[in-house]
A and B are shown apart, each in its own frame.
Chain A
Amino acid sequence: MSVYLNKGTVIMSNPPSIRSFAAAAGRMEGEGPLGSCFDYVSQDSTFGENTWEKSESRLQQHALEHALAKGGISESEISLLFAGDLLNQCTGSAYSVRDIGVPFVGLYGACSTMAESLSMASIFSDNGIGKYNVALTSSHFCSAERQFRFPETYGGQRPPSAQWTATASGCVVVEQHSAPPYVKSVTIGTIKDMGIKDANNMGAAMAPAAYATIKTHLENTGLNVDDFDLILTGDLGEVGTRILCDLFKKDGVDLESVHNDCGLMLFDREKQDVHAGGSGCGCSASVLCGHILGRIKSGELKNVLFTATGALMSPTLVQQGESIPGIAHAVHISAE
């Protein structure tokens, strides 16, 4: 039985295992520094479909199919599927699995969905609920832009703090304790809003939530920053990373030495025009599932605190002059 500590931390009693994982991505992500890590890369952002929303669903299906294949299980063996994305009503996820007959839990955590879904899958598995629980998420640049920002062909100018929504997906299959990687504990984040209203500076909007969640997790588990090989945030990007490290520095903690950010890892910011870095649910999902989990499985990384971050705004509320609330969920994944 998992143990709930205060402020959202859940300690696994018998750490569930990550049975298999896979990542799928688009052309730009495939051409980035982690391109060779992905299980499936498409040169064509349509993924063979005639609407961007369907393209995102197809992208998710690739990640799911590969993760199931690598885990040697079929769709019918999935106990519970926790999935979400950026699209209104999470249609990217709902439509990607509508035909496979799986018990479906739709989630919205904006770009933090990978950590949110993995947390849910792990907690359920730790408590013996479900044999194989799946966490799945995605984002697609084109479907996100038309919903949150502007049409593709619109001639707008993005400021340097803006981030690039990744066209990518990640999927994790969780089972009861068997072999590494293990999920040892999670911290479900609390929403933090420090008044940032600039929808072009998501990093600044989300950094307070990342700070709060990481701090809560360390305090509750009694661990330090140095107990981790890597504290990996989802998509704080250049700006959010700087702010996060600054906030920890004010506490006298050196986060920089173990910190990295999926938004900064996914793209080559010199060669690819992504400004402050990658973003979107698929950003942290694909980096985790494509690059990080493999290194934990091999033992190269022993302890990782995967902290995906999300901005819980909508274009409507931004137009109403509201500020942007952020959230971050942390998952301690270990090789031991």
Chain B
Amino acid sequence: MAYATLAEDLKELHHPKTWVGKYVWSQDHKVIAVQYMITAIAIGMVALVLSDLMRMQIGFPGSLGFITPEKYYQFITIHGMIMVIYLLTALLLGGFGNFLIPLMLGARDMVFPFVNMLSYWVYLLSVLVLVASFFAPGGPTGAGWTLYPPQAILPGTPGRDWGIILMLASLAIFIVAFTMGGLNYVTTVLQARTRGMTLMRMPLSVWGIFVATILALLAFPALFVASVMMMLDRLLGTSFFMPSLVSQGQHLGYNGGSPILFQHLFWFFGHPEVYIVALPAFGIVSDLLSTHARKNIFGYRMMVWAIVIIGGLSFAVWAHHMYVSGMNPYFGFFFATSTLIIAVPTAIKVYNWVLTLWRGNIHFTVPMLFAIGFIFTFINGGLTGLFLGNVSVDVPLSGTYFVVAHFHMVMGVSPILVIFGAIYHWYPKITGRMWNDRLGKIHFWFTFIGTYLIYFPMHYLGLLGMPRRYYEYGHTAFIPDSAHMLNAFITVIALGVGASQLIFFYNMISSYFYGPKAPGNPWRATTLEWQTPTTPAPHGNWGPKLPVVYRWAYDYSVPGAPEDFIPQNVPAQGTDRHHKT
């Protein structure tokens, strides 16, 4: 049996005795999870402020005098980089991966707790190196988050002296950190599941995180080598990505490199990265919907296979980011086809979420509101992906605000809604306290409606033909004044959405101190993390004996059962009709 050795529970955990051992140099996956979450959200706040600053420049050009073109390009670059890598990836895998995997699988901890601890501290180092670039001479890099060479390392791009070096170093350090965490997640899922927890009984949250971690372990190395190669180009004058060129009148010594090679490496990482963020969100939202609709997830096996198939296909679609890059145009036929095929399993997931609501008993709790909000924004963002994935349709839209709107809707707003839902959902288990319901709902409405008002109209600026990454548009004949007014409107909403996040922080922090004590299983959920002996769960999670699993994760509203949920560790009762897995 795959789970035999570790689930035998022979190894004793070393319990730390000091405060520092418990909360700083902690090897407890739950503490590491919280460390990851707080760090990711803190650096995410920096990115949020940067986005508001750049929106001020777009909506009201010149209103903030200190935003020079140089600063503007630095802001957009660091905003994108933080949001994609240091917030979303770190929060979903480092944060929720750490918290949920051992608890949902009935393990005492990750398989390698010490490596897990190192993973967090190395991640923190990568964040600090990134932040350091703000204080370096010339500031952070302004090459755009895609860091395309040659411009990323040439004069004429902000942060060319120090910023780009620190950026590349930070990415490399992040990947080292992630690899330590990622190997842990995969090993734990494969080796440390408790008795009875077969792979096909795992909650979809774990499936999503598990497959995303495998993707990340395979995709990040491409970014790692690309970072190292660009660093060599910048520091040692190698020519991996640099052809011979004349930079601002100067003949440089580079010769024979290929800028497009970098794009292939970057997007070979970059497209799976979309699913590294999306798959955990898919998994988590499935569990939120099922729990709060009091109904089993519809088509569990199909959902698992869809996650696996999407993960596999995600490695065969990367060049849809490069249709107009100058690569051989015949690649377009292949990548358009593979990209549109990936829409089929993705659509199945959407159907199954909606069919989970169908004939459910829907409780409109705060986590549920966020989950439903996710379905709506994800449908929107997924469908616009069918424009951009379909090679010739992409040609007029590439590099415009249509792209900006699409990827913010699909991998900005959608996963963020899931993350908020997940934080509200698991907060009682993490802290032992309940948050304020009214504030949670206000936060939801501001965030959900606000982000939709920002990104839905933005698509049409892209259709009009407004290119992204413009410091200002000046007078351009085909851009009417109304488009600039729309940009001002979007900026106002964006500032409002940004400010409304203070409600969230107030709610989370004050509830931690003053919130009412939470019961162990406030949502009456079936999965193991809600069945811990105490809340918050102690170090080692389960007290003297590990739980034993008898059923799948979705026995809600089983006919004949006394309650509308049967936890996974409850043996068969004779009356209940549990799903055969």
Question: Do the two chains bind?
Answer: no
